[in-house]
Amino acid sequence: MKPFLLTIATIACVSSLTAWAAAPESKKPRKNNAPDDTAEVSVEPGKVFVYKQSGGRPQELEVYFPPGWDAKSSKVPGVIFFHGGSWRGGTLDQFRYACKYLASRGLVAATVNYRMLTNDEVKALPAGETNKRTCITDAKSAIRWMKQHAAELGIDPKRLIAGGGSAGGHVSVLATTNPGLNDPADPKEFDTSVVAYLLFNPAFKSTDSADPEVHVLNHLKAGFPPAIFFFGDQDGSWKPGSDAALKQLKSLGNTSAELWLAQGKGHGFFNKPPWQDITLAQADRFLVEHGFLTGTGTLPAPPNGEKLIKAQ
């Protein structure tokens, strides 16, 4: 089945995509008071696809391709990013910059939307269930869509990388580790496993234990793929959750997970210059080390010598 590509005419009719018409504005630096789930420096949107309908609306992803890309000539790894926003907000814009850069380095990169429940829908949830479940279900659908359309996109479906920021980091891990929360309409022949993770202050929380389906510690197993975590060392609300996850992975024999810290920084620091480039350069190094990229990264050095510190 061919992927459904939105035409310009279709996009003009879809209010949720009006930002595409104003793409040049997205190149401008954002204000310093931008939310933690918003990239301060962004780029034009990628090619828009609809991967499913949920909640009465199309759920979209944008794909960025390497320069001069010909899907028939070779198959490269793909990477799929999920934005943050407390499972209630956020936009595709958060990872456009990362997608464009990683595409310039040879990957096919996607930034993905997912359904987020309204206040009334959250109030109507059964006892013991949280709104996070819906986000994870759609994320699983997006991953399956990427694998189903691997030939048209020019990716190797067995070399798909997942990542995200804050809530999107949580969503990316649960969508690829929890065997449940599937959309019955998804093609069952495609799984949601991935080969690596790029996790920008993922929002894992001990209180998720009240809903076991969304609690990351319930779904970490031996053989967890290589992962790189980024945190500000002042992110007291969310870093403890990843510390617990990393401790559990270590107890399972995982030696490929890395934690990199920005001193004096809090949640969402990776959305702001120069940390946007610094974290992305470290992610590039990680992908080269694990055989998903080759060559040397092309991002500029930080202006004032800022750097990440690897946790021991």
Segment 8-33, tens digit of pLDDT: 333 333 333 223 222 333 333 333 33
pLDDT at residue 290, rounded to an integer: 98
pLDDT at residue 35, rounded to an integer: 59
Mean pLDDT throughout 167-191?
98
Q: Is the pLDDT of residue 167 over 70?
A: yes
pLDDT at residue 38, rounded to an integer: 81
pLDDT at residue 3, rounded to an integer: 45
- Please give the domain boundaries of the chain with CATH numbers for all domains: 8-310 (3.40.50.1820)
pLDDT at residue 41, rounded to an integer: 84
**Per-residue pLDDT band at 297 (split at 50, 70, 90):** very high
Place of tokens 């499972």: 87
pLDDT at residue 312, rounded to an integer: 79
**Per-residue pLDDT band at 160 (split at 50, 70, 90):** very high
pLDDT at residue 37, rounded to an integer: 78
Task: Render pLDDT for 36-75 as a digit per residue (tens, 0 to 9).
Answer: 678 888 899 999 999 999 999 999 999 999 999 999 988 9
Task: Render pLDDT for 221-269 as a digit per residue (tens, 0 to 9).
Answer: 999 999 999 999 999 999 999 999 999 999 999 999 999 999 999 999 9
Residue 13 CB neighbour total at 10 angstroms? 9
Mean pLDDT throughout 197-211?
97
Output the CA–CA distances (angstroms, integers) from residue 272 to 26, 33, 34, 37, 78, in the order listed: 15, 10, 9, 10, 25
Task: Render pLDDT for 92-149 as a digit per residue (tens, 0 to 9).
Answer: 999 999 999 999 999 999 999 999 999 999 999 999 999 999 999 999 999 999 999 9
Phi, psi of 226 (to 5 degrees): -55, 140
Buried b vs exposed e over 278-312: b needs ≥16 C-beta within 10 Å?
A: bbbbbbbebbeebebbeeebebeeeeeeeebeeee
pLDDT at residue 74, rounded to an integer: 81
